[in-house]
Amino acid sequence: MTALTKLFRTTTFRLSLTYLALFSAAAIVAIVYIYWNTTVLLSRQLNQTIDAELKGLAEQYRAGGLDQLVRTVAERSATPGNSLYLVADSEGRRLAGNLSAVTPDLWNSLGPVEFVYRRPAAGGVENRLAFANVFRLPSGYRLIVGRDIEDRRELARMVRSAMLWGLGVMALFGIGGGYWVSRKLLARIDALSDTSRTIMEGDLTGRLPVNGSGDELDRLAQSLNLMLARIEQLMAGLREVSDNIAHDLKTPLNRLRNRVEAALREPYGEPVYREALERTIEEADGLIKTFNALLSIARIEAGAAGGENRETLDVSALLRDVAELYEPVAEERGLALKADMHAPIFIRGDRQLLGQAIANLIDNAIKYGTSEAAEGGPDAQPEVEVSAEAKGPMAEIVVTDRGPGVPVSDRERVLDRFVRLEASRSEPGSGLGLSLVAAVARLHGGSLRLEDNEPGLRVILALPTNGETHVNGAPQQALQGAEIRPA
């Protein structure tokens, strides 16, 4: 496609052509109308003038006969103007008047007639158009009264040429303007599509040009830029996740491989092999767990999981249930696990996903809630407290511990996949627990926040309640897409 055909194909150019055609048609109609009206008016004036003259001459003729008529005509012919007169006898000889020759056509016609006559002018004779009324007098005489209408013909010619010129200029401006505007617009569109092409080729840092005029193209470019920023952010997230996966899955895989290799090199036979194989299975199980957790998070974040299994459930009961599951573990670790639940709070959710989320929170609290408290002297009572409370439209599940807590600067980061703080490296875990809780919270339209428990960590999982249990039968609007808020 050449640049010119591309230009002609633009909407702007086609629009300007259409407008041009419409304006031309309107202009032609207007000019024709004015011209036609003017002509009608002029003809009427002409007829009236000629009628008046005829009437005057008829009176002269009645009063004084042919002689007086001839005299009057001669007088009137002498005064300069556009009036034409002729009195002639039956042979066509001129008796008086300023019309020299009479063509046979004119002579034989009767009533109003248009004809061409010759008039002396500067440097010769010119043919001019005239309009006249031919009148027959008794005894074959003719009286012709008319007016020169060459000016009218001139006017018509002028109007015609003005019209042609006008249309020409209009067409020129229209096409030229259309071309100019289209090219300007096309240049901007080309710039936009060039940039998008480079972005499509993989350079996500590119942004569409914005010229600050705030026009529709600018606004479009701004929206597209926001979209690009979002895509870039998502891609960066994805890259980070795959880097993390690569690191956190490859490390144990490598360990596994090393162990098998080492066992193969050992010459001690079966018992050593057996032990190595058992540890290999353990390592593989760990990997499978990590892999499952990752897949779960990915599916939850894609919104694919838990859609079909939403049910109305009591969070208090679920929390009590999971707390009961972990209570012996807490006790074994020398922790008191206190559950503080009051009235049932109903929400709509996936029991398995929510159960897993709560289990992860309690598991974390038990894992990390001990170390510091044990050294914290007699005052620091090592305990984990779980509670559920309805706060407005949200059900808040709170899990607190008396452990080292999470520094403010890390509170957002620990929700990311595979992030494990230095202090917790000694504990077993994949660094996926809180990521999963955050994903479950998002899926349910809720949020996850970490706060200071002074000392310790206070984790709040807020989920939208099932409105039906609070407002008579009318479900409350669930808070959709709430963000994970850093504390």
Partner 1 sequence: MRVLVIEDDQETATFLKRALKESGHVAEYAGDGQTGLDLARANAYDVLIVDRMLPKCDGLAVIQALRTEEIRTPALILSALGEVDDRVKGLRAGGDDYLTKPYAFTELLARIEALARRTSPEEGSTRFVVGDLVLDRLSHKVTRAGEAIMLQPREFRLLEYLMKHAGQVVTRTMLLENVWDYHFDPQTNVIDVHISRLRSKIDKNFGNPLLHTVRGAGYSIRDSAH
Q: By CB under 8 A, name the one of 314, 363, 372, 385 that touches partner 1.
A: 363
Helix (H, G, I), strand (E, B) or coil at 141: coil
**Per rule CB under 8 A, is residue 350 in the interface with partner 1?**
yes
Cα–Cα distance between 72 and 92 in angstroms, integer? 19
Which residues partner with 83 through β-bridges?
Answer: 147
Helix (H, G, I), strand (E, B) or coil at 22: helix
Window of 183-191, 261-269, 325-333, 473-481 that interacts with partner 1 by CB under 8 A: 325-333
Residue 139 neighbours by CB under 8 Å, 6+ apart: 90
Pairing of strands 142-148, 83-88: antiparallel
First-to-final CA distance of the chain = 58
Minimum CB–partner distance for residue 196 and partner 1 (Å): 37
Nearer to partner 1, 241 or 329 (CB): 329
Window of 136-144, 224-232, 355-363, 415-423 that interacts with partner 1 by CB under 8 A: 355-363
**Per rule CB under 8 A, is residue 293 in the interface with partner 1?**
yes
Q: By CB under 8 A, name the one of 102, 132, 335, 366 that touches partner 1.
A: 366
**One character per residue 296-315, x = contact with partner 1 (rule: CB under 8 A):** x--x----xxxxxx------
Window of 46-54, 214-222, 286-294, 459-467 that interacts with partner 1 by CB under 8 A: 286-294
Contact 441, 447 (CB under 8 A): yes
Helices (H), 425-469: 433-443
Q: By CB under 8 A, name the one of 21, 22, 158, 281 that touches partner 1.
A: 281
Cα–Cα distance between 265 and 276 in angstroms, integer? 11
- Work out whether the CA dihedral 69, 74, 75, 79 comes out positive or negative: positive
Minimum CB–partner distance for residue 288 and partner 1 (Å): 6
Residue 115 neighbours by CB under 8 Å, 6+ apart: 103, 105, 106, 129, 130, 131, 132
**One character per residue 410-449, x = contact with partner 1 (rule: CB under 8 A):** -------------------x---x----------------
Window of 1-9, 196-204, 356-364, 457-465 that interacts with partner 1 by CB under 8 A: 356-364
Nearer to partner 1, 131 or 326 (CB): 326
Q: By CB under 8 A, name the one of 65, 209, 328, 392 that touches partner 1.
A: 328
Cα–Cα distance between 426 and 15 in angstroms, integer? 72
**Per rule CB under 8 A, is residue 110 in the interface with partner 1?**
no
Q: By CB under 8 A, name the one of 45, 213, 242, 352 that touches partner 1.
A: 352
Contact 61, 115 (CB under 8 A): no
Number of H helices, E strands in the chain: 10, 12
Q: Residue 455, preceding bond cis, omega within 30 degrees? A: yes
* Token representation of residue 333: 């670790």
Minimum CB–partner distance for residue 265 and partner 1 (Å): 25
Window of 76-84, 117-125, 235-243, 292-300 that interacts with partner 1 by CB under 8 A: 292-300
At 319, the amino acid letter reads L
**One character per residue 226-245, x = contact with partner 1 (rule: CB under 8 A):** --------------------
- DSSP of 100-169, one letter per residue? ----HHHHH--EEEEEEEEEEETTEEEEEEEEEEEEEPGGG-EEEEEEE-HHHHHHHHHHHHHHHHHHHH
Minimum CB–partner distance for residue 416 and partner 1 (Å): 18
Minimum CB–partner distance for residue 285 and partner 1 (Å): 7
- State the number of CA atoms in the 13 A half-sphere of 269 facing the CB: 0
* Binding site residues, partner 1, CB under 8 A: 278, 281, 284-285, 288-289, 292-293, 295-296, 299, 304-309, 321, 324-326, 328-329, 332, 350, 352-353, 355-356, 359-360, 363, 366-367, 429, 433
